[in-house]
Chain A
Amino acid sequence: MIPCPTADEGPIAAMRNVDFSYDDGTEALHSVTLDVWRGEHIALVGGNGSGKTTIAKLLNGLLRPSRGHVLVKGNDAAKESVAALSRTVGYAFQNPDHQLFCSTVAEEVLFGPKNLGFADAKAVEKADRALSLMSIGHLKDKAPLSLSLGDRRRVSVASVIAMDPEVLVLDEPSTGLDAGEAAELMRALDGLNQEGKTIILITHEMRLVAEHSERVLVMAHGHVVLDCRTRVAFSEPEALHESGLIPPAAIQLAHRLSDFGVSPEVLTVDELAEEVAKVWGARI
């Protein structure tokens, strides 16, 4: 969904000059400022240790800024508990094993909605919807930690979706999923985005970014080094290279073929095929 920021509605989540250091002195973020608008589909990318997870945890209050402010729905997040913030910003942990603690999948997914005070019937409805979105309805009675990594990952995402937050922050949700599972997960997220949910996807897979996100935030050493439309980000691969990111094959190929008249502004394999067909057709 294309966001439509209006004058009367500010960003749904924002960071203003945020510095963050961990207790051992590691400076993880330096003066990070960003706006997240309702309905956006954002990719948060960057090398290992660049600060992606730190940003995610700051947005839902698990970490508090050393300096600067985090705003959620225009209010200073410092005044609110993690539990209160979780109503707006849902966070699916990078490591699902750190997130799962109940004895069955059904309990796990119900935990959030119940805490938020949804009536029983409503909570069950939300949990069931999340389970079916992640296609894990059949695992309801299994112990979460006994599942395969892919299924654990999906339980962890479902447990956040079930809380129905307006912003979903997913920390590397496709890691450990096979290609088919990852595609299915991304389809589910795109569906939620169509319904108006804001998606912040942390990932190392540039192909997913190119195919699904409309905006890219690139992190390097605790700084936001690039914040722009996905198409723009991939049209200048140098900036990405500096952050250790390599565009997906289709985009690289388009750049190589630009001398032959192929537009370097493609994002997906389909777009590349179309471009190539156009140039090819013109030649014949």
Chain B
Amino acid sequence: MGCQNMTGFVDLYSEGGTFLHRIDARVKIVAVLFLSVLAFLLSNVYSLTLLLAFIFILLFLARASLSRTWFALRFVIRFMVLIVVLWPIFDPSGTPVWATFGPVKITEPAVWRGVTSAVRVGCLACVWYILMFTTSQRDLVRALVKMGLRFDFGLALAISLRFLPTFSATIDSIKDAERARGMELDKGSLLKRSRNYVAILVPTIVSALRSADTLSLALHSRAYGARADRTYLREPKMRRQDAAALSVVIALLVVPVFFKFVLGVPL
């Protein structure tokens, strides 16, 4: 049960044939970086909302399923609500003052700053979500290696991603083993319960280290590291539509930067 959820949690990728799925992963990585930079550069709540709307259109074009999106982003939404609520409480600057509760002063600009930050967080989360959900982990790692990441780091990254579900399955099986031998995991005082969870964590880490050991044997026994230069079965190639997408992405960053910093438009 837990295992399934965890698997969904660690690998957001869902197969699909949309334009956003097919586009070169390197372009997508650049796009995500650019859009993230843009989200930080924009400080006007309207332009940020426009950016969020644009990202929602992308989500729609990628045919993101509503339930999966909700599942992946529900923590982000809670976080956004928290920002809107807490920002004005801790930021008393500016006028007009809307309300005063003892030492706490709620001002209009502070509320807007809270909303702006929340929208920014939403933009960032959605942009990265689109990348994870339209790109398989394998393509992602391959793109990073093509972009200059050392191959062994890429492999390490791929393996860690691959082992996350295994790791959570290990946690489940250790829990089962302990419950089957009379351990009440969720009973007792808070202290006792946290001790119970340490009793799960330690064997899980030991088991992870053991499997890392086995894994390195398995890699070496299949001639990993025998040659410094490797060949690849599939070489990612930039196609015409990838180049087109890349220029759109560049424009997306350059145009607002030009307006904001050269022309002084308050974006």
Q: Which A positions have Cβ atoms within 8 angstroms of B?
A: 23-24, 60, 62, 81-83, 86-87, 90-91, 93, 97-102, 111-112, 115-116, 145, 159-160, 163
Interface residues of B (CB under 8 A from A): 1, 3-4, 173-174, 176-184, 199, 202-203, 206-207, 210
Partner of A101 from B1, B4, B177 at Cβ < 8 Å:
B177
- Does A98 contact B184, Cβ atoms closer than 8 Å? no
**From A83, A145, A159, A163, contact of B210 by CB (8 A):** A145
List of A residues within 8 angstroms of B179 by Cβ? 62, 81-83, 86
Contact A116 B1 (CB under 8 A): no
C-alpha gap A63/B127 in the complex (Å)? 39
List the B side residues contacting A112 at CB < 8 Å: 181-182
> How distant is B33 from chain A, measured CB to nearest CB, in Å?
35
> What's the A-B contact tally at a CB cutoff of 8 Å?
59
A234 CB to nearest B CB, Å: 32
A98 engages B173 (CB within 8 Å): yes
Nearest B residue (CB) for A81? B184
Chain A CB count within 10 A is highest, among B4, B174, B177, B180, for: B180
Q: Are B4 and A24 in contact (CB under 8 A)?
A: yes
User: CA of A102 to CA of B206 in the docked complex: distance in angstroms?
Assistant: 10
Query: In the complex, what residues of B have CB within 8 A of residue A83's CB?
Result: 179, 182-184
Q: Decide yes or no: A99 and B183 within 8 Å by CB, A23-B1, A24-B4, A145-B210 being known contacts.
A: no
15 contacts between A and B (CB under 8 A): A23-B3, A62-B179, A82-B176, A82-B179, A83-B184, A86-B180, A90-B180, A93-B177, A93-B180, A98-B177, A99-B180, A111-B183, A116-B182, A160-B181, A163-B182
CA distance A163 to B199 in the complex (A): 19
In the assembled complex, which residues on chain A have CB atoms less than 8 Å from the CB atom of B206?
A: 101, 145
**Which residues on the A side are within 8 Å of B4 (C-beta)?**
23-24
